[in-house]
Each structure stands twice: as structure tokens, then as C-alpha cells.
Structure 1
Amino acid sequence: MNSATRHLLLVTLSSLSLAAAAPTLAEEAFMAAHANAAAPLAKSVPSQLPRIARPSHYDIAITPDAKALTFTGRVAIDLELFERSSSITMNALDLRFSSASLSKADGSGKVPLAATLDAAAQTVTFTAPAALVPGKYTLTADYSGVINTQANGLFALDYPDKATGEPRRGLFTQFEAPDARRFAPSFDEPSYKATFTLSATVPADQLAVSNMPVEREFAAANGLKTVRFGASPRMSSYLLFFGVGDFERLAMKSESGAEVGIVSPKGSGEQARFALDSLAPLLGYYTDYFGQPYPLPKLDNIAGPGQSQFFGAMENWGAIFTFERILLDDPAITSEATRQAIYGVQAHEVAHQWFGDLVTMAWWDDLWLNEGFASWMATKVTDHFHPEWQPLLTRVHGRESAMSLDAYRTTHPILQTIRTVEDTNQAFDAITYKKGEAVISMLEAYAGEDVWRSGLRGYMAAHKYGNSRTDDLWNAIEAAGAKGLTAIAHDFTGQPGIPLIRMTGSQCKAGANLISVTQGEFSRDRRASIDGEGRRWQVPMLVRTIGGDEQRVVVRDGKASVKVDHCGPTILNGGQLGYFRTLYTPQALAALRSDFAKIQPIDQLGLLSDNFALSIAGYQPMDAALGLLAATPADANPYVLMEAASRYAQLYRVFEGDAATQAAIAARGAAALRPALNRLGFDPKDSEPALDAVLRADVIRALGMMGDPAVLGEARRRFARLDSDPRALDGPAKGLWLDIVATNAGAAGWDKLRRLAQASKSAVERSTLYTLLGAAKDDALAQRALDLALTAEPGQTTSAAIIGRVAGYHADAAVAFVEAHQTEVDRLIDASARVRFLASLAMNSDDPAMIAALEAKAAALPADVRKPYERTIAVLREHAESNPRIRAESKVWLAGE
């Protein structure tokens, strides 16, 4: 400490009663008054901060400089100190502090604070000249920060003006999970809820938006204005939002009383209409379902150009952020599948306004309370408003995406231990979202819809504006009448993995089917160690016979018997509401295959998914799965035909390099899928069912992947029309046809796609076209795409997507490229996704040397950073072991059919 600082300390100590070496009589009285104050955080809740203070209100004022990519800020934090201390530590990252001070709540007794940053811990410690007594204070700090070019903290997105094509820049924020600390010093953990008031000084001709409506606005110097937003309800720091730019807002009043709006780049116009018209009814539905009104005066959904490798949308309270590609409905490029995704993503984020925002998990261990429930709720509300989309059938696909991770030893429980920032980033995966949704669906079926909703309503009422743990939810649902649910829920949320239900016997007696089952565990890479052992779950099942009865049973202690009043073929996971794999006896599976056309579509999907997983993992021969695929009727439900199309295309890819076998698969796939395409045609029909449009695209995509001459010829013909009419392909199938062209492109076609990307005035189309440049099978074109990704041409948030697309056919080249340009590539990826990026590129490698290379790389990494590499290594190792068997068994089946 230098002499000037020492002199300042002596003056401060002699003049202030707020901070002193020994408490005065007034301070002793003050401390006595707060001696029984509640602790700032329960000991059961993890935290990376000292547990001595908590905030009650933040008043943040910022002035961004979009051109310089910097901002200045001032924050006043009302907080309570619970222990005598000379310092207060909170989160901060990439901030620089010019001054800080602390005063009593009434503004008196101001003392200077020294700010010390710890970049590794992502904290700032504000230190007073002497110890502070417990009590209520206001901490004020002036600081500056950086505006990022990827979606972390306050970030910029550049895009072409929709009318002129001129460059524009919008500013947005993304704070989940650990990035509010990049915007302001804060207690950046979910249990430190507080209210927020935000002010921003911005260009006078731009639109600023935050969680709450604008409270007042006044002119500032140099063509600027200051916008002050209303105070928010109590919420976690990661839910704060700010955005500003050349935006427009399409808005309407909802029946709930809140105003809803879509904020988008100027010129978007009616592209926002579909999302807006969908948004208003969601508020009413959720208000009724949860028994709690939407508490804010408005709800905006803000469209951001660009994309992220980490997320697509974020549920900021009252100000959802969604990338434009899944929010705006552009008739020139938006497919029917994307329109349905627009609805589903928005439904997910609006569900968060209750499940996540009104009631927030206490710590990131319980992240699934946010994400699993929002996914489940989005499917439920979509089924309510759009039953013609048959969204309940998509739950099978969601379950499969979770099981694709959960089948490996590198999986994790739904309830996982989160202790580092990187742990938190990696928690956003299919286990959290899709296994969460699948388990909730199973538990709702166990409890019954009415009991389940009653329990949720009680949970919401008890914890609104606060934080909760998973058991708080189970207790509420049990209290509503779902006895025994907690034990089942603990089995499925507290341990990883997938139960395997084996049918061990089935016999018909007196018109009833008597079935016996045992419970084991399904795994892709540790089967030898779990056969006959493994984990135990209490597994709810719905046993259903085709055209007959159904019976509910819970498998306990590893076995069960069930009697169903019908002797027809039997499905052990009726309605596919159970989170488990089902292994039938060969005789039972043969009966199901014979009557496959009579089975309900959701069970057809489940049977196909289960049997492919079981065959690929070696629990049964490949002919068990391939026989079901061959039994799929030509007029099956669209989702079932989409699944069949996907299976043929996947099988085709397995035989890369074996042209004869690929030709046999392509012929079989064409025979199975051509009837649907003949019925649907290449072009949409007026007023056709929405799922017909989705099915058409999936069938064309699968046939194109398998080299179907008619599809490839049609793609080339349509692509050629762009030479005379740049809008010739406009419509919902544009991206599909260009994808097929890009995959099979030569140098001339690749150059033409690049020119189309350069000329586009649509941020979404531009990004899509640049990304397609990475799709080419041609080695030289793949390298050109990689080189292009490191230039400024595609845009800051598109380059990582190009590299990712290259990895589809050239995984080894993509990995080598990233390793050679690691520093440059890191700048193209969200900080939240950087650790996972290279490991994800390697997932498609079939070079045995890749496993050893990844192992060497992972060995030098910390445990939390190593996880994505361990997952990829496990998958590649298992594929190397199982693929020869899969190929051999599949070839036998192809030859025998």
C-alpha cells in the first residue's frame, strides 16, 4: 500500500461511523437489530460466492457504443450485509471499474471501495477501508465493459437491412447461465433474486427494449436519448434483458390483459404475424393451467439475426430473445417444419415465464426443473392449439435424443452436480431437456392429468417469486394425491441410464394374456458389466394388446407379472409414455411385425426406435429391426414414414464406401418411400395438411441423400432456374432443394451458391446459404468452405455453422482445421459452447486414429472441460466395435429379403 492510500485510509477511519475497527454504541444497536436476520442463502443451496450478503434491487444505467463494441455503466445495488466484513464479493467478468462506494440505505455515511478482480473466479471484491457492520447498504460502482460478437453478455449482431442490404448492427443480451456478470457486477446466481431497474442511453432513432415497458424517455446530447424501464419483479440475474437497434414492434393486447409484441429488424413487417398471433393465446392457456396470472404488463419476443452454437432462444422475463430463423415467418424461405418449430420454441419460452421465471430452481443442479418442464409444457400446449400437427408423436423422437446420450457410461442423471461455470454450460443437453420431458410425461400418466395439474398449481402458489428444489415439486404432487410418485421420480431423476424391460414369457389362458417381465439396464458400451445386474428402477408401464385391453403396472424389485384381457400381440410400453427400452421375445416381436399396420402410430414409432436401438447395441440381430422397417405400411402416419425415411438414409450412410450395398439400400428405400412421394408430388398443394408438407420434405431429403436420380435431377433443374429468375425457388422448399444441390455440388454450383449468399438481403437466407457451402461431399470444396469460415464474409455467427456442416462428411478435416486455427475459431463460437465444439465435430469420424488423438487431448484437460471429449470417445469406440457386426448382419438381411 502506498503512502497516499494510507493517508486516505486514516482520514476515512476517523470521519466515518459506518466502518470502524471497533463498533460504536450506535453500531452495536444496529448490529443487535439485525442479529436475527435470515441467512442470505440456505446452506443446502450451492454457491460460489461468500454467504454474507444478498441484493434486493439493482439500478443499472448503461451507455453502449455499438461501433466501438464497448459500453460504460453505473450500478447502484441495494443489499443487506449479514456478517461483519470489510469486503463484499460478487460476480464480474470482463469489466473494468473506475470507482466504487458504499453508503447506508438512507444515503448517509458514504465510503470509498477498492475493486479487485479475480478473472479465474469471475468475481470482483469490493473492499472498504475497515470492517462493515451488518445492515442494509447501497453499493455504487462505475465501470466499463466489452460488447461481444458472440452471444455472451451484451453482444452485437450484424445483418443486412431488409430493404437496402446496407449493414446494420443490433445489440442484445444473453445471460444464461453465467453471463449477467459481463453486463454489471452482480450476485449472478439463481437464488439471489432481486428487482431490477434499467436505464440506457442509446441513439435517438433506435428502439430499446427490456423486461419491462419504458417508464420514461428523454433527450440526451449528441443525438442520443435515455430510456428508463420500469422496475421488474423479483427475479434471478440471468433473466435480465436489454436490446437496442433499428427495430420495429408488432403488438397486440392479449386476453390476459398483458400486451404482447414481436420486436424485429425494420422491414420484417408481416413476417412477425404468425409468432404474434400465436403468442397471445399462450398467455391465457398457461395462466389457466398453472393457476397463476402472468404478472408482467407486457411480453415481447425479440428477433435477433444470426445464430448460436449454444442456444436458439432465451426466456428472459417479459423479453424473450429468439434468433430470427426460428421466430419470423418469411414466405421466401420458411418451411412448414420451421413454422411448427417457431410455434414450439415460442411455446417453450413462454412456459418458462412461469416454470423458470416466476419459480426458479435454487441452483443449476435442478436446471431440468426449467428446461424439462418447458419442453413438456410446449408439447402439451401445441397439442391443444394445433392437434393437426400431432405433436404428441414427437415425444418419441425427443425420448430417443435423450437415450442416445443416456445409453453410454458418460451419461449423467437428470439431477446433476454443478459446481463450475463449465459444468453449467454443459448441463444444457438432451438429458436435461428431453429426458426431463419424457420422465415428466411418464409421471403425469402415473399421477393422472387432474392430480398432476393440481399439484403443479400448489407448487406454483407456494414458490412464486422464489426458488425451489426438485423435491418441492414431488411433495406438492404427492400432496395432491399421487401417492408413491416421489420414489419413482427419485429413481429416474437421481440416477443415470435407461431401464430395459425384457419380456420373459407370454401365454394365453382363458382369453387373457399372462405376461412376465424382468427389469435390467440398456447400454451401448457397458452391456457386459450390467447383464443380470445394473441399476434398479420402479418402472411404470402401460401394457396394451392390439385391439384389446390395457393394464397399468409398476415393475418393482426387477420383475413383474401382468394379465391383460386379450390374447393378441402385446405392446409393453403402450402410448410410449415410459422411459425404458423394451426387448420382446422373438415370437412376440414376430406377432407385432405381422400386425404392424394395426398398431397405433405412436407405438409404431416406439417399436421402430426400440428395436433399432436394441439391434444396433447387439441385444438382438439387425433383422429384428430391419424386419419392422420393411413392415411399415406405405400409407402409414406421416411421422412413421418420416422415421422410416430417416432409417433408410442412416443405413445408407453406414455403408459409405460400399457402393453395391448402398445401391441395394437405395433401391429398397425408394420402393418404400416412392408411393408417398408420388401421392404428394414435388410441389405443395393448396390447403394440404401441414404434415404432408413436412413428410414431402423428409422423403425428398432421404431420397436425395441416397442419390435418387429423379430427386437429384429435379434439384439440378430447379437450381438452374435461378440463372434467369433469382426468386424462382422462393417458398417453403427452397432450403431443401438448395441443401441437396449443395451436398452434391461441383465447383460451379458451389460458386453460384456463394454468389446467392453474397447478394441476399435476408439475414436468415444469407446465413443458410453460407452454411450450405459446408455441405459439399467434394473434398476440395469442403476445404474452400473451411477457409471461407475464417474470413469476415459469412458473418461472425455463421462461420462456426459452416465448420460444423463440413464435419458431416469430412469430420477429420474439420477437426484438423480447428486445431490448426484454434484461436481464430474460438472467436467464432459462444464462450458457452467452445469446450464442446471440437469434440462435436469429431463425432462423425470413422478413423480409429481419432480416438487416440482425442484421448491425448483430453488427458491434459481439467475434469469439467474433459467431459465432451469423453463422450465423443465413448461413442467412437462403441461404433468401431459394433459397426462391423451391423454391416455384416444388415447385408445378410438384404440378401435374404
Structure 2
Amino acid sequence: MNDFRLATDVRPSNYELRFDLDLEQWRSSGTARITLSLGRPAREVTLHACDLDISVARADGEPALRVSYDEDAQTATLEFASELAAGEHVLHLEWQGEIREALRGLYRSTRPGERYAATQFEAADARRAFPCFDEPEFKARFRVELIHQTGVAAIANAPIENVEDRGGGRTLTRFAEMPKISTYLVAFTVGPYEFTPTRHTATGVPVRVCLPPTLAEQGLFALEAHVRSIEWLEAYTDIPYAYTKVDAIGLPDFEAGAMENPGAITYRTRYLAADRGTASVAVLKAVFSVAAHELTHMWWGDLVTMKWWDDIWLNESFASFVGDKATAALNPQWEYGRDIVQEAGPAFALDSLRTTHAISMEVRNADEASERFDAVTYNKGQAVLRMIEGFLGENAFRDGVRIYLRRHREANATADDFWRALDEASGRDVTGLAHAWIREPGHPIVHCSVREVAGGLELGLRQERFFADPDAQPTGQVWPVPMVIAYGTGGEVRQERVLLGEREATVTLPGARWYLPNGGASGFYRYAFDDRGVALLAGAVSGLRPEERLDLVSDLWALVRSRRAPVAQLVELLAGLRGERDRAVLQTLADVLGWLSEHAVRDDSRPAFEALVESLYRPELDRLGWEPREDDSDDEREKRALVIAVLGARAAAADVRAEARRRVDAHLAGTSRIPPDLAGVLAMVAAIEGDAPLYERYVARMKETEITDAQEEARFRGALADFADPTLAARTADSIFTDLIRDQDRSLMLQRMLGMRRARHDAWRVVREHWAARIVPMDPGGKHRIVRGIGQLTPRELAPEALAFLEANRAGDIKETAAQAAEALRIGSATAERIAAELPAALERAALQARA
């Protein structure tokens, strides 16, 4: 794709669109009446169109002399015999197209006996459904009509105005006009949907959940999540919801998790069909947080839209940040702040690469835009906003948000517009602080040295850019780092707030006996202690807040991987956390142990490694037991599943694997039902030593529940990847591009299997076999997942071939992702070998200390 941009002196104001959808032949045809304004006289009008055959083109009734296409720019140019004057004109267009297999543009979806047409237009795929000015700057009003099979539901952004019987089993559904939106937010779908009852928010917004047949009753929790989130967001922004309705639509096939089309938010089915009685706490949290994220977009992205894709972070970072604020505020029982801290992990990993990108940077075309939907845009952006809010205070930050939204509603805006609003609300120079974090790639590590002075501690602080590659050269970058330093005085824990704006600084902590450089885990930076700092903190670790403990583990793990700390120091910290009871901290430990198990634990050190895992997690299983209790908190329900998963998968605990198999056998036989929090975990653990008959029962269960229970189908589909038997592992890999696995799930399964020691060889074979025919034509999101998965092929026998493959395929909409995956693979492969060599001695030392 080239860097073509549409002329800004041709601006649409209204679209009237009619689509005739043939779901038997998977064909579509359409007509458009586009009202536009020319800023100067012109003989030609260029707009976007991709894979469409425009058969009729007129301007004010005058036929075009010719329609020419530029496939690389994805445009159509209409040439007229006479010049069109400056001012308003009306284009009439007719076209034919396909309802595609790839999950982008106007695409097809099926379940047994059911057919659907659906849309996914972000970033630049509206042009695959209708000719349009497909850039976010060109906001316009839309009116949509759909001709479709009689007897199925038709849904679009706006409410239905009327329905007309066209005869011959065809129906015309007309929708009301939408307020001004960008083309990427237009949405419609037809299919045999069923609906929850409609609920209204306190301000009267009608909300319903739309799901495939048999699933609507499972959508009531999602319905509640939408209603409560809208009400919270209206209060936070002080701006009423701007659209006439909310339909939350579960699509059988959908590449992303969800999409914020105003009035017609689309989701993967499992993010809506999640009944309280059949879904795990983890799934319910995902349902709520995804809904809150998408609804936040109704203000950030839909009501106020970025001018161009270089500011896509402004949409996504805000939706993550404010959506999580809503989730935490509305569900205090989840203690969701710990989850928010954990969400920074993927951002730290990607942002530590030399091939990372700034949160806000130039985007030249739609291919580059598609690569911006990553952990830097979502997770780092969210973390930086959280850090800025902490610097300004919640009230000043919220006031700036309100100024920004009111000033730019139904229009386009830039990041600088937002910073100016924060400057105005707070009276501080937010713009200067923000530019350093938003426009610069990477993040700092703050090296901390300490000396004891009369009555306290004196810290020496020195910052530099953090790289995962231990051989990377310093860049000289300096950030304004809003540090929150927690320290203990013996009687209380205090905080010292420091804006570290220079490369080096000195801070005195009166009365301090120990300190932590990132109190509350509120900052997006790494930190490193000197030996004295480690010794001072050692006795205080158990008293840190859970988010601080998990951040401490995450931080040390990053230092070990970048060769800034020895493996023995990490193992010592892990061993020192025996008796840890917090679910989020145990999850962070599990993530570290999982990487070690898959990439760095050799056969000779595996027994000692498994013994360490056993010592960390067995006490919690003994305390919680296998059976849920009536007084279990949501956290305990999640934790029970976590400790069983870790003991079964990482400690290879024979009793856990046997009990998991017994319970799964009974569940599949129908003699008992596993509680939802444990069902997926036990399916996974039982699969590890599972045989061919069990594999067949998993496949049968998937097929039985495909149309009745999205959560159950996902559990047993996911567990197919966990069968360790080589024949069954190969069978799972070979099934990915068959009808057994839905289009939307293929990239997710491949990405996971590429990182698993028992499955990676077969997954890598399947990637190579299907690359050209099946993976290259995928939607960008699916390709990005698979490419990142290739970056996990760390074994010495795989890494060189995988690196060569990534280098050979650095082009198009995976150019940047392939470069990042290649760098991650080079670092990961070297790190795995180094840790594997150091780990046996570190484990032996920890075992000796435990016995002492």
C-alpha cells in the first residue's frame, strides 16, 4: 500500500447507502447517494474503493466518462466531461462486491444451519464494502438501508425506521440517520439473532444484547455491564451518551475482541454470552472490562475522533484507561487495581525493544495504522495516562477531559488538543511532560543507590533508557519521570513524590529504613537497587501492597532477562515468596515460571524447578481445597483455578493431574458438572497426560456446545493444545486450518502453540505450510498474532530458521511486527540459553536454604 491521502478540499457531509445482501451466494450490491462539498472546481473526484466493481457513477445526474482504479492506493477516480463547480454536489454510485471470507470489510459468518453477514471497518476497510472517503477526518451523517432475506434480524448503528416487504422472500429494512461519524465506525449485520429484553439507563438510553440462537439468555450479565458502564461514563464525562441506542452484538466470527461502532457494538460471542452461573470470574471480568472499554469509545473515538491514525492511541489508550476506571469503580469486590498494574506487562516487553515505536508517531497509510493496534498503543498509553493523572490529581485530570470532549464533540481532534485542555484545567505544563512520554519510544530504568544518613536514607537516582537487549547502546534519552517513592519508617509507610527531570538527582527520605522506587506501581519505568537497597527491602517485602509485590517480581524478571541481575537473585525472591496468598501476585509468579518452564528449564533441572513451584502453590491449594465454598470471594474462586493450573502444568503434580482427569471424565460423562471457574483449568490439566479417547471426547464436546455454550466450547477447544502426546499435538496443529477451528480462533491457537515446548515444532510446521495460502490473506490482527508467536521459537534448532523467515517476510502490514518479533526472538533465544545454564545452581542454592 502506498502513502496516498485523499484531498481535503473534497468533503462528504451525508451518505445514503443501500446494500442488497445475498447470503446464499455471498454477494452484495449497493447504491450510494453521497452529498459532498468541493473547495475548488474539479473534473475528477477520487474516493476509496477496494474490491468493488462500480457500474454507475453520476454527479448531479451527469454520468462519469470513466471510472479508473488504483489498486495500490485502494481508490477509484470518477472523471467527468464537464468541470464540477466549487460548492455542494451529489454523487450517485452503484456497485457490486463480495461478502468476504476474511474477517474484514463486509464479511461472512456461519454456524450450523445459520448464515450471517457482518462488518468490521477499522482501520480502513469500509472501502471494501462501499465507495467512500475512508479516512477518520471525513466525518459525515449516514443513513443505511439493507435488503435481506425475510425472517432474519437486521441491525445497524441507528434504530429501525421502517420495514418493507419486497416480495420473493426479501425485506427492506430502513434505519434512521446517524449523527456525524467516520466511515470506520459504520456497522451493520444481518442474521438469525435473538435478543435479551431491552433495559434503559437512568437517562433513558435503550440497551440490549443481540446473540445467535439459544444464547440470548446468557447475555444478561453483559446487558447489566453495558447499562452500568454507560451511567458511570455519563457521570465521569458530564456529557450524555450521544447516540440513540446501544446494541451489543455477538458475532459467530470476529477477529478482534470487540469494536466500538456507535449504536452497534460488535463482539466475539464469548464476550457477551457469559451467564453468571456458567462463566468463570475471569470471564465475567473480561466481559465487563471489554464492555466498559468499548463504551468509553462512545466519547473517545466516536464523539471526538482523531484526525488521522497517528493519534489512534488517543482512542485506545483512553478506552483502556477510563474503561478500567469504570470496571474498578463498579466492581470493588474484584480489587481491579491489581489487574490494571498487570496490564502494563505486555507494554513493558514490547517497549523494551529497539524496534518499538512511540505511542504517537507518523502513520503513512492503512497498513501502518493496522500495526499500531498493539501493546504500546493500548497498554503503555494507558499506563502513561495513569501516571499523568497521578501527577495532576484525579479531579484536575477529569476536568481537562471534560473540557476536551465538550470542545471537540462531533469533530476531530489531536493529542495536542487534549494536552492543552489538561494545561487549562490544571494550570500546569502537562504538554511538555506528555510529549516526552508520548512522542519518544521506550521507557527509562532508574538506577537507585542508597546510603544511610542521620535519621534516614539518601538516594542517588540515575536514569537511562531500558533495553531488553543487554548489548544495546545508550541513547541519551531523558524523561521527566513522576516517581512515587514509598518508604518505611518503622511505624508507617510514607510516600515521597519526585519529578526526576534530569539524568541524575539526589533525594533524602527522613526516617526511612527501607524504600521502594515505584510506590503503588504507579509509574511506567523500571528500577534497579544496589546491593544495600536489596538488603534493606528484604525484610519488608511481605508488607508491601500486592501491586507493589507483583511489580517487584516483574521488575526483577526484566532485569534478569536483560542481564542486569543474576538468575540466582530471581530464584531467591521467588523462594522468599513462599506463603504468598494474593491472587494477582501468584499470577505474576506463574507468568515468570511459565516462561522458564517453556524456554529455559532443562531436563536435569526440571525436578528442582517443579519442587520450587510445588512449594509456592501447594499451601494455597491445601487451604482452598478443590470444592468451591459458599463464602468464597471472587478472588478465591480465581485463585483456586490458578493454583490448580500451576501445580498441574508447571509442578507436574501427579495427584493434581489424576484428580483433574477424574473430574473431567465425570463432567464429560454427565455424572457431575465442574464449576465454571475450574472447568477450563481442569480440561487443560487433564489433557497434558491425556490419550486419544480423551482427545476424541474433547472434540465431541466442542461440537456439542458450539451453538449452545460459547464458554464451554472455548474451554475444550483451547485444551486441545495441551495434549502432550506427540501424535495428538501434531493432530491439533493440523486441525487449525480445518472446519474444526473457526476462522477467528486460528491465529490465537497458533500463537499459543508456538510458545509451548511440546507443541512448537508442529505449530511452526503448520505456519510454514499454510503461510502463503491461508495466513497472508488473513486480517491484519490475525497475522500479527502469528508473527509475534514466531518470535517465541527460542530453541537453538528452531531460532535461526524462524529468524530467516521473519526477515524474508518484513513487508506490507506485518513489516514492523516482523521486525519486533525477530528482535524478541534473538533476545529470547540468547536469554533462554543463559538462564538454562545458570538455573540449576540457583535452584540448588534455594533448596539448600529452604532445608537450612
Is the TM value for this pair above 0.5? yes
SS at match of 2:621: helix
Q: CA 1:750 to 1:845, structure 2 compared with 1: closer, same or farther past 3 Å?
A: farther
Among 635, 639, 643, the alignment partner of 1:699 is 643
- 1:250-265 aligned at under 5 Å gives the runs 250=196, 251-265=198-212
Deviation at 1:732, TM superposition (A): 3.2
SS at match of 1:233: strand
Check if 1:312 corresponds to 2:257: yes
Among 359, 374, 382, the alignment partner of 1:414 is 359
What is the match of residue 45 of structure 2? 88
CA distance in 2, matches of 1:404, 1:190: 30
Higher mean alpha-carbon deviation, 241-250 vs 819-828, is at 819-828
1:1-48 C-alpha deviation (Å, 9 max, x unpaired):
xxxxxxxxxxxxxxxxxxxxxxxxxxxxxxxxxxxxxxxxxxxxx962
Deviation at 1:583, TM superposition (A): 0.4
Check if 1:442 corresponds to 2:391: no
1:686-734 C-alpha deviation (Å, 9 max, x unpaired):
2411111111111111111121112111121122224632773463322
Q: CA 1:87 to 1:271, structure 2 compared with 1: closer, same or farther past 3 Å?
A: same
CA distance in 2, matches of 1:112, 1:119: 20
Give the conservation status (yes or no) of the 8 Å contact 1:669–1:703: yes
Q: CA 1:442 to 1:406, structure 2 compared with 1: closer, same or farther past 3 Å?
A: same
SS at match of 2:167: coil
Among 151, 156, 173, the alignment partner of 1:210 is 156
Give the conservation status (yes or no) of the 8 Å contact 1:333–1:735: no
Q: CA 1:275 to 1:861, structure 2 compared with 1: closer, same or farther past 3 Å?
A: closer
Among 826, 832, 835, the alignment partner of 2:775 is 826
1:187-224 C-alpha deviation (Å, 9 max, x unpaired):
11100000100010122211111111111112111122
CA distance in 1, matches of 2:733, 2:65: 49
What is the match of residue 35 of structure 2? 78
Q: Give the total of aligned pairs.
A: 835
SS at match of 2:426: coil
What code does the residue aligned with 1:220 have?
Answer: R
What code does the residue aligned with 1:544 have?
Answer: A
CA distance in 2, matches of 1:113, 1:773: 57
What is the match of residue 65 of structure 1? 22
Check if 1:267 corresponds to 2:214: yes
Among 795, 808, 815, the alignment partner of 1:866 is 815
What is the match of residue 429 of structure 1? 374
Among 101, 115, 127, the alignment partner of 2:79 is 127
Q: CA 1:225 to 1:170, structure 2 compared with 1: closer, same or farther past 3 Å?
A: same
What code does the residue aligned with 1:419 have?
Answer: R
Give the conservation status (yes or no) of the 8 Å contact 2:99–2:107: yes
What is the match of residue 98 of structure 2? 146
CA distance in 1, matches of 2:793, 2:136: 36
What is the match of residue 371 of structure 1? 316
Check if 1:555 corresponds to 2:495: no
CA distance in 1, matches of 2:529, 2:449: 8
Check if 1:158 corresponds to 2:110: yes
CA distance in 1, matches of 2:593, 2:810: 39
SS at match of 1:634: coil
Among 497, 506, 518, the alignment partner of 2:451 is 506
SS at match of 1:279: helix
Give the conservation status (yes or no) of the 8 Å contact 1:503–1:515: yes
What code does the residue aligned with 1:57 have?
Answer: N
CA distance in 2, matches of 1:860, 1:284: 47
What is the match of residue 491 of structure 1? 436
What is the match of residue 31 of structure 1? none
What is the match of residue 15 of structure 1? none
Q: Which runs of 5+ in 2 are unaligned?
A: 847-852
Give the conservation status (yes or no) of the 8 Å contact 2:747–2:783: no
Q: CA 1:211 to 1:854, structure 2 compared with 1: closer, same or farther past 3 Å?
A: same
What is the match of residue 201 of structure 1? 147
Deviation at 1:136, TM superposition (A): 0.6
CA distance in 2, matches of 1:183, 1:864: 20
- 1:590-601 aligned at under 5 Å gives the runs 590-601=535-546
What is the match of residue 571 of structure 1? 516
Give the conservation status (yes or no) of the 8 Å contact 1:306–1:767: no
CA distance in 1, matches of 2:791, 2:384: 30
Check if 1:815 corresponds to 2:815: no
Deviation at 1:133, TM superposition (A): 1.9
Q: CA 1:113 to 1:284, structure 2 compared with 1: closer, same or farther past 3 Å?
A: farther
CA distance in 2, matches of 1:835, 1:891: 35
Q: CA 1:768 to 1:146, structure 2 compared with 1: closer, same or farther past 3 Å?
A: farther
Q: CA 1:781 to 1:884, structure 2 compared with 1: closer, same or farther past 3 Å?
A: same
- 1:291-330 aligned at under 5 Å gives the runs 291-308=238-255, 311-330=256-275
Q: CA 1:371 to 1:245, structure 2 compared with 1: closer, same or farther past 3 Å?
A: same
Check if 1:679 corresponds to 2:628: no
- 1:213-292 aligned at under 5 Å gives the runs 213-250=159-196, 251-292=198-239
What code does the residue aligned with 1:515 have?
Answer: L
Deviation at 1:680, TM superposition (A): 1.5
SS at match of 2:690: coil
Deviation at 1:649, TM superposition (A): 3.2
Deviation at 1:600, TM superposition (A): 1.2
Deviation at 1:766, TM superposition (A): 3.4
Among 380, 384, 393, the alignment partner of 2:338 is 393
CA distance in 2, matches of 1:727, 1:79: 64
RMSD: 2.1
Deviation at 1:743, TM superposition (A): 3.5
Give the conservation status (yes or no) of the 8 Å contact 2:791–2:824: no
Deviation at 1:113, TM superposition (A): 5.1
CA distance in 2, matches of 1:582, 1:339: 34
SS at match of 1:410: coil
Give the conservation status (yes or no) of the 8 Å contact 1:344–1:378: yes
Q: Highest CA radius of gyration, 1 or 2?
A: 1
CA distance in 1, matches of 2:669, 2:483: 59
Q: CA 1:273 to 1:611, structure 2 compared with 1: closer, same or farther past 3 Å?
A: same
Deviation at 1:836, TM superposition (A): 5.4
CA distance in 2, matches of 1:371, 1:329: 24
Among 783, 792, 795, the alignment partner of 1:846 is 795
CA distance in 2, matches of 1:171, 1:688: 43
Give the conservation status (yes or no) of the 8 Å contact 1:815–1:838: no
Check if 1:881 corresponds to 2:840: no
SS at match of 2:511: coil
Give the conservation status (yes or no) of the 8 Å contact 1:774–1:803: no
Check if 1:524 corresponds to 2:473: no
Give the conservation status (yes or no) of the 8 Å contact 2:367–2:812: no
Output the TM-score relative to the length of structure 1. 0.90
CA distance in 2, matches of 1:835, 1:595: 42
SS at match of 1:844: coil
CA distance in 2, matches of 1:642, 1:263: 34
What code does the residue aligned with 1:369 have?
Answer: L
CA distance in 1, matches of 2:173, 2:646: 51
What code does the residue aligned with 1:614 have?
Answer: L
1:99-126 C-alpha deviation (Å, 9 max, x unpaired):
11110xxxxx534453222222111111
CA distance in 2, matches of 1:413, 1:588: 32
Deviation at 1:439, TM superposition (A): 0.2
CA distance in 1, matches of 2:696, 2:81: 65
Higher mean alpha-carbon deviation, 681-690 vs 788-797, is at 788-797
Q: Which runs of 5+ in 1 are unaligned?
A: 1-45, 104-108, 161-166
What is the match of residue 655 of structure 2? 710
What is the match of residue 599 of structure 2? 654
SS at match of 2:482: strand
Give the conservation status (yes or no) of the 8 Å contact 1:52–1:81: yes
What is the match of residue 786 of structure 2? 837
Deviation at 1:333, TM superposition (A): 5.1
Q: CA 1:770 to 1:852, structure 2 compared with 1: closer, same or farther past 3 Å?
A: closer
The percent of aligned pairs where both chains have the same amino acid is 29
